[in-house]
Structure 1
């Protein structure tokens, strides 16, 4: 975790978040390279990581395309961490955007693949967030959502009150116009839904 040294002046709570986001435990649970390699991403695709955090998925996404990867996060400090990692890896195709999904200011119909990892439960309006993602995706573009299942038996993760169960998410995606491609259970707590914006 050598890039942590750059942030020793930052507050401990933020550092703890980075340590969790980059932890080996999280990497074993959701191996980012494995997941990205299974996605319908081509070498010339433009990608978007919403709620990019410390770049857990942004970096492997940037390695999987020669085109641009937008890393979006409301926290400027998280974007600095991604910037540092990109430098370490010699990646220069990442564009940092400090914003939230509700204010997505990327050109419509310009993105081939969107990653929304453990972020949708934090938005103020799921419908608005998914609608914005739908607009920026090209026809035939894909969205991969990772979320915690809304199950009282699962203690780890965010509070039950804000979780989005897989059935609720599938329903919301369908109402907006997405078609569900596949649903995967990563473990008892976390699931993924891959959806596509159909050609008109």
Structure 2
């Protein structure tokens, strides 16, 4: 059953202490200064690495979107344990985001945008769901050489894609040697 082992490997990486040590969800949430009233979309939520901590900080909804129903099951279980009632699990695809237009204050896309080809249509979808002046936060690995996996997008390449999609790049941060964080804002 290779699929089951791959799934366990993905979950163990997403939940690893090494990942938290490199760049914790609290560090990201501190950087973006969530407001208590914000609605957040965790795009490609995985096991809820950002979903759960964000839901503890806001009274608005935190939409945990993933294409993998088993990942959403993990988030639902965690939210029950934490007694969080503002998490909305959303199984969806990039072709039509199942979130209302202009309803989201902050989109968090962590280690997922490099998997989307072409990227421009998704960025337009994310822009539609964001409120005026909403933020799209992109966390990705800075490529070092080539690998057999989905090609990574450099920080410069991601900045360009964001600008072309109509986002203002407000800040770029390198929380570690391997990671970059782009803070972008919807431009009208």
In the alignment, the residues of structure 2 paired with residue 101 and residue 30 of structure 1 have an alpha-carbon distance, to the nearest angstrom, of 26
- Say which of 73, 86, 95 aligns to 2:79: 86
* Residue 165 of structure 1 pairs with residue 154 of structure 2: yes
- 1:100 to partner: Cα distance: 2.4
RMSD over aligned CA atoms reads 1.6
* Residue 47 of structure 1 pairs with residue 40 of structure 2: yes
- Say which of 101, 104, 129 aligns to 2:94: 101
In the alignment, the residues of structure 2 paired with residue 102 and residue 188 of structure 1 have an alpha-carbon distance, to the nearest angstrom, of 33
In the alignment, the residues of structure 2 paired with residue 175 and residue 16 of structure 1 have an alpha-carbon distance, to the nearest angstrom, of 35
Task: Judge conservation of contact 1:121–1:162 (CA < 8 Å) in 2.
Answer: yes
Q: Which moved more, 1:158-167 or 1:31-40?
A: 158-167
- Say which of 137, 143, 168 aligns to 1:144: 137
- Cα deviation 1:146-192 (Å, max 9, x = unaligned): 1111332xx7xx64761111111111111111000100112222101
1:174 equivalent in structure 2? 163
- Say which of 119, 136, 145 aligns to 1:126: 119
What is the SS of the residue equivalent to 1:107? coil
Task: Judge conservation of contact 2:115–2:150 (CA < 8 Å) in 1.
Answer: no
Q: Which runs of 4+ in 1 moved over 4 A?
A: 158-161
- Say which of 58, 61, 68 aligns to 2:54: 61
What is the SS of the residue equivalent to 1:101? coil
Task: Judge conservation of contact 1:50–1:101 (CA < 8 Å) in 2.
Answer: no
- Cα deviation 1:93-120 (Å, max 9, x = unaligned): 0011111233312111110000000000
Gaps of 5+ in 1: 1-9
Task: Judge conservation of contact 2:90–2:98 (CA < 8 Å) in 1.
Answer: no
What is the SS of the residue equivalent to 2:101? coil
1:191 equivalent in structure 2? 180
What is the SS of the residue equivalent to 2:32? coil
- 1:85 to partner: Cα distance: 0.6
What is the SS of the residue equivalent to 1:147? strand
In the alignment, the residues of structure 2 paired with residue 88 and residue 161 of structure 1 have an alpha-carbon distance, to the nearest angstrom, of 34
Give the TM-score taking structure 1 as reference length.
0.88
| Residue correspondences, number | 186
- 1:197 to partner: Cα distance: 0.8
Q: 1:187 to 1:102 in 2, by over 3 A?
A: farther
